[in-house]
């Protein structure tokens, strides 16, 4: 194939969604955030919702999510994204409102806001990135850190007697009558990326149909925090994270 054939629009098989801009991402190579950002942007474009979407960025590595997707954003205080989303969706019910939160933001400091927004059945989507670690602050223990998993604040591994148990918050959210769709995915293979995208689409559609709160957990890697190569991180995730946080629908109504 010649260069001209390759760049011929007739041969175009893939293009970057216009909802994503060209700002270079600050995420580490191998990080799951970039893929999830892309999926959200693609779904927004496919639903033709760029003008009707308000995203809520968390505190954590994704605090700068607003730099990469060309939609309106609010950046929340640590853990408070579901509170912001609640007010925005109630005041603008025809808008698509989603939060994008990490495990520390959603399941530690923001536990109350997360559970109560979901329990009220707010018509929002919560995208939950679970990599079992605080990435931005340098790899400290998260609520979802596995037993025995090393972090900056559990240098000898998470000790249940000292640190308590990993919190399966998604399972807990699935128990609440306010949630309509609670599902867990990953983005470490092409097949998983496709499934995750379908889940995000379904969650966004639920939000617009007023079905209640949708939660899409993405079990993710943090190769910098885990101190593994990107490839080794994926293997470690499959071997260790998936047994604790199994993929699939926890609730689909």
Partner 1 sequence: MNDSKKHTVKEVRLMKGNEAIAHAAVRCGCDGYFGYPITPQSEIMETLMELEPWNTTGMVVLQAESETASINMVYGAAGCGKKSMTSSSSPGISLMQEGISYIACAELPCVIVNVMRGGPGLGTIQPSQADYYQSVKGGGHGDYKLITLAPASVQEMADYTVLAFELAFKYSTPSLILADGVIGQMMEKVILPPFQPRMTEAEIREKCPWATLGKTADRKPNIITSLCLQAEQMEAINLRLQKKYRDIEDNEVLFEEFSCEDAEYIIIAFGTTARVCQKAVEMARVEGIKAGLLRPITLFPFPTTAISNYADRIKAMLTVEMSAGQMVDDVRLAVNGRIPVEFYGRLGGIVPSPDEVLKALKDKIVIK
Task: Report the residue number, 116 or 198, with the smaller CB distance to partner 1.
Answer: 116
**Burial of 94 from C-beta contacts in 10 A (0-12 / 13-18 / 19+):** exposed
Q: Which is nearer to partner 1, 52 or 195 (CB)?
A: 52
| Contact footprint for partner 1 (CB under 8 A) | 50-54, 56-57, 63, 66, 69-77, 80, 83-88, 90-92, 95, 112-113, 116
User: Which H or E element spans position 189?
Assistant: none
Compute the least distance from the CB of residue 61 to partner 1, in Å: 13
> Rg (Cα) of the chain, in Å, rounded?
18
The answer to whether 233 and 144 are in contact (CB under 8 A) is no
Whole-angstrom Cα distance, residue 31 to residue 152?
18
Cβ closest to partner 1, residue 109 vs residue 238:
109
Q: Give the shortest CB-111-to-partner 1 separation in angstroms.
A: 11
Least distance between partner 1 and beta carbon 38 (Å): 17
Q: Which is nearer to partner 1, 51 or 239 (CB)?
A: 51
In whole angstroms, the minimum distance from the beta carbon of 147 to partner 1 comes to 30
What is the closest distance, in whole angstroms, from the C-beta atom of residue 90 to partner 1 in the complex? 5
CB of 218 to partner 1, least distance (A): 23
Yes or no: say if 102 and 131 are a contact pair by the CB < 8 Å rule. Answer: yes
Q: Kindly tell me which of 57 and 199 has the beta carbon lying closer to partner 1.
A: 57
Task: With both helix axes pointing from N to C terminus, report the angle between 33-46 and 190-209 in degrees, rounded to the nearest 10.
Answer: 50
Tokens, residue 243: 């047994």
Q: Can you tell me the distance from the alpha carbon of 23 to that of 29, in angstroms, rounded to the nearest whole number?
A: 15
Cα separation, 80 vs 236, whole angstroms: 31
Contact 153, 142 (CB under 8 A): no
Using the minimum distance from each CB to partner 1, give the nearer residue, 112 or 160: 112
């Amino acid at each position: 194939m010649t260069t001209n054939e390759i760049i011929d629009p007739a041969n175009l098989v893939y293009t970057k969604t216009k909802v994503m801009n060209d700002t270079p991402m600050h995420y580490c190579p191998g990080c799951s955030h970039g893929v999830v950002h892309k999926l959200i942007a693609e779904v927004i474009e496919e639903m033709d919702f760029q003008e009707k979407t308000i995203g809520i960025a968390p505190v954590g590595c994704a605090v700068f999510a607003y730099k990469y997707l060309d939609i309106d954003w609010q950046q929340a205080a640590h853990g408070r994204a579901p509170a912001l989303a609640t007010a925005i969706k109630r005041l603008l019910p025809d808008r698509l409102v989603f939060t994008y939160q990490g495990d520390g933001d959603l399941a530690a400091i923001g536990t109350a806001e997360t559970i109560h927004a979901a329990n009220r059945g707010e018509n929002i989507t919560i995208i939950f990135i679970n990599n079992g670690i605080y990435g931005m602050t340098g790899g400290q223990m998260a609520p979802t850190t596995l037993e025995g998993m090393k972090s900056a604040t559990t240098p000898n591994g998470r000790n249940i007697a000292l640190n308590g148990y990993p919190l399966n918050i998604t399972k807990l959210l699935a128990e609440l009558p306010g949630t309509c769709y609670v599902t867990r995915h990953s983005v470490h293979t092409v097949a998983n990326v496709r499934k995750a995208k379908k889940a995000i689409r379904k969650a966004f559609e639920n939000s617009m149909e007023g079905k209640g709160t949708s939660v899409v957990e993405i079990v993710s890697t943090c190769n910098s925090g885990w101190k593994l190569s990107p490839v080794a991180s994926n293997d470690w995730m499959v071997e260790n994270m998936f047994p604790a946080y199994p993929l699939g629908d926890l609730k689909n109504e």
